[in-house]
Amino acid sequence: MKHSLAYLTFALSLAFAVAPFFSGDFAGFASDMLPNPQINPPVQPAGYAFAIWGPIYLWLIASSIYGVMYRKDDTDWDAARLPLCISLAVGVPWLLIAQVSVIWATITIFIMAGAAIAALIRSPVQDRWWVRGPVGLYAGWLTAASFVSLATTLAGYNIGFDSYGWAIAGIIAALTVAIATYRRVESSTYIVAVVWALVGICVANGMANFVVTALAITGIVILLCVMAMQAPRTPRTLS
């Protein structure tokens, strides 16, 4: 149907935002969900960092309302809407999934992150702060969160490294994806979200887990340098 993607995006954005009221908040997997309980895993940001979901929810809803009102027929918007709708559709029940199965929660959050990154890459330059802004913030946080979930799950099942080894691997993997994504599409909000997660990891670990904290700080510096180096430069003119 005509305009269906615009209205579907609005409906899913709204459903995604209200889902926590029915399924409860999430700040990490319960320790008893894993064979090797992960109590405050070092890869997980401090609890306050999850407050980023507030701006994400509100901005996605505002974006979808703007899209319905002014960009219903815009094919450039539709290119981003399709993968965004896939991500949001998986995200609506995600909190319930995360309370039942760590493995399925990890699988589904990677689907959410992949679709969100695809939406970001397809987002139009026009109306930058109505599309690329909110989708970038959403995709950036999911990039970090997906590797937090993976590292916690692997450590919890005693696969390969311990929790500190997987924290290091998870941070490196998230940085790699973040840099590759930013090279494809310049989105400051995407980098801000990943940096926000890394700051949360620093706060959670402090000096007690110095190696993890140092790696997170290094990651922040690298991401800021990548963003600065790739920023468009305005040519100087002589007056």
Helix and strand totals (H; E) in the chain = 9, 0
Among 204, 200, 198, 205, smallest CA distance to 221 is for 198
pTM for this entry = 0.93
Residue positions counted in the chain:
239
Taking only the tens of pLDDT, the chain with its 239 residues reads 457 899 999 999 999 999 999 887 676 777 778 889 888 899 999 999 999 999 999 999 999 999 999 999 999 999 999 999 999 999 999 999 999 999 999 999 999 999 999 999 999 988 899 999 999 999 999 999 999 999 999 999 999 999 999 999 999 999 999 999 999 999 999 999 999 999 999 999 999 999 999 999 999 999 999 999 876 644 443 33
Eight-class DSSP state of 23? H
CB atoms inside a 10 Å sphere around CB 16:
24
